[in-house]
Amino acid sequence: MRATREAFGEHLPVMGERYNNIVALDADLGKATKIASFRESHPDRFFQIGIAEANMIGVASGISEYGYKVFLASFGSFLTGRYDQIRCSLAYSNRPVVLVGTHVGMAIGKDGVTQMGLEDVSIMRALPNMAVLNPASFSEAVKIIDYLCETDLQSPHYLRLGRQPVKDIEMDFEFGKGQIVKDGSDITIFSTGCILGDVMDSAGIIEEKTSKSVRVVNMPTLKPIDTDIIVECAKSSDMLFTVEDHSIIGGLGTAVSEVLTDSYPKKVVRIGLNDIFPESAPPTDLYEKYGLSANKIAERVINESMGK
C-alpha cells in the first residue's frame, strides 16, 4: 500500500529526465507534497516560491508562456484558497499548468478541517478550461503523471493526490474515461480517488449479505467526465451510487447527476460529506462516522436497495 502523492514524488523526476521543459514550483511544502524530490534531481528547474501560493500561480503562468510545462504543488485546501489567481492567471489565460493538490479528503485525520481538501473538486470543476484528475492508486497516479508529461496540454489541469497509503489496484488509464474495475449487473457504484479500495471492499460485503451483483466503476477523470460509461451503467443497473471523500456538492455525485439529467434521467444516491465540516480525529473514525468506511458504504447501499 502506497500513497498517490508518493507516485508524484518518485515519478516526476523520472519524467524530468526525459523532458527538459518540465519545471517544478514549491510553496514551502515540498517534503509533504513530495515535489521536493524534483529539486534534488533537477535543481536548475526547481523554484522555491515560499509561503506565497498566489505568487506561485502567477509565476507558473508566466513561465508557461515560454514553452515550459509547469507543475506546482501545495495542499489542495491551500490552492483553492487562491481561487482568484487560478481563475484569472491560469483558467482564463488557458495556461498549460498542472496544479497538484495533496492532503485531500478526511484521510489526513487529526490535521483537521483547515488542512483537508473537501471542496477542491467542486471549485476546480466550475472553472472553464480546467481539467480535473483524481487517481485511485499509486500505479494509476504514475500513469496520469505520464499522460501529463507526455501530452501537449492545451489547458490547466488539477491533479488531486492523497497522503494515505492505499491499495495499488492495477488499472489502465485513458484521459476522460472511466474503468469498470469490478463487473456486476444489479448495482453500480461510481468511485473516484483514494476511496476506491473501501468501495471494492464494500462491494464484497454487499454481495455476501444480499443477492445483488455489484459493479464498481473508477472515475479518475472528473472533468471532462465520461458520459458514455455513466449512461451505459444507468441503462444496465437497477440502482446507481457515487462514493467520494469529498463534499457531495459539486463533486463526483454532482457530475454523474448532471450527465443523467441531460441524457438518461435516473436516481443517483450520493455518498460523501453532506454539507458539513468533519472533526479532527483518526481517519478510520472519521470514515466510520461519516459513512465512508467499507462497512458503512455497504450498509447505506443495502438500506437504499431495500427501500429503507
Looking at the fold, whether 215 and 124 belong to one and the same domain comes out as no
Residue 307's pLDDT band, with cuts at 50, 70 and 90, is confident
- The tens digit of pLDDT for each residue in 247-256 reads 999 999 999 9
Q: Report the domain count for the chain.
A: 2
Asked whether residue 97 is domain-assigned, the answer is: yes
- The tens digit of pLDDT for each residue in 67-123 reads 999 999 999 999 999 999 999 999 999 999 999 999 999 999 999 999 999 999 999
Looking at the fold, whether 123 and 265 belong to one and the same domain comes out as no
Looking at the fold, whether 119 and 217 belong to one and the same domain comes out as no
Residue 225's pLDDT band, with cuts at 50, 70 and 90, is very high
Residue 308's pLDDT band, with cuts at 50, 70 and 90, is low
Q: How many other C-beta atoms are found inside a 10 Å radius of the C-beta of residue 302? A: 17
Q: Are 22 and 68 in contact (CB under 8 A)?
A: yes
Q: Are 9 and 163 in contact (CB under 8 A)?
A: no
Looking at the fold, whether 8 and 155 belong to one and the same domain comes out as yes
Q: Are 208 and 246 in contact (CB under 8 A)?
A: no
Asked whether residue 84 is domain-assigned, the answer is: yes
Residue 271's pLDDT band, with cuts at 50, 70 and 90, is very high
Name the percent of the chain lying above pLDDT 90: 97
Asked whether residue 240 is domain-assigned, the answer is: yes
Query: What is the mean predicted confidence (pLDDT) over 50-74?
Result: 97
Looking at the fold, whether 133 and 231 belong to one and the same domain comes out as no
Per-residue b or e along 22-54, where b marks 16 or more CB atoms closer than 10 Å to that residue's CB: bbbbbbebbebbbbbbbbeebeebbbebeeebb
Q: How many other C-beta atoms are found inside a 10 Å radius of the C-beta of residue 121? A: 30
CATH code for the domain in which residue 245 is found: 3.40.50.920
CATH code for the domain in which residue 51 is found: 3.40.50.970
Say which DSSP state 9 is in: H
- Average pLDDT across the chain, whole number: 97
Q: Go through the chain and tell me how many residues it has.
A: 308
What is the separation, in whole angstroms, between the first and last Cα of the chain?
Answer: 35
Tell me, what's the pLDDT at 306?
82
Domain of residue 196 covers 179-305
Q: What distance in Å separates the CA atoms of residue 258 and residue 290, rounded to the nearest whole number? A: 24
* Residue from 191, 187, 215 nearest 301 by CA: 187
Residue with the bigger pLDDT between 169 and 266: it is: 266
Say which DSSP state 27 is in: S
Which distant-in-sequence residues (6+ apart) come within 8 Å of 250 by Cβ? 119, 121, 122, 123, 125, 126
Asked whether residue 169 is domain-assigned, the answer is: no
Q: Which amino acid is at 91?
A: A
Asked whether residue 201 is domain-assigned, the answer is: yes
- The tens digit of pLDDT for each residue in 131-189 reads 999 999 999 999 999 999 999 999 999 999 999 999 988 899 999 999 999 999 999 99
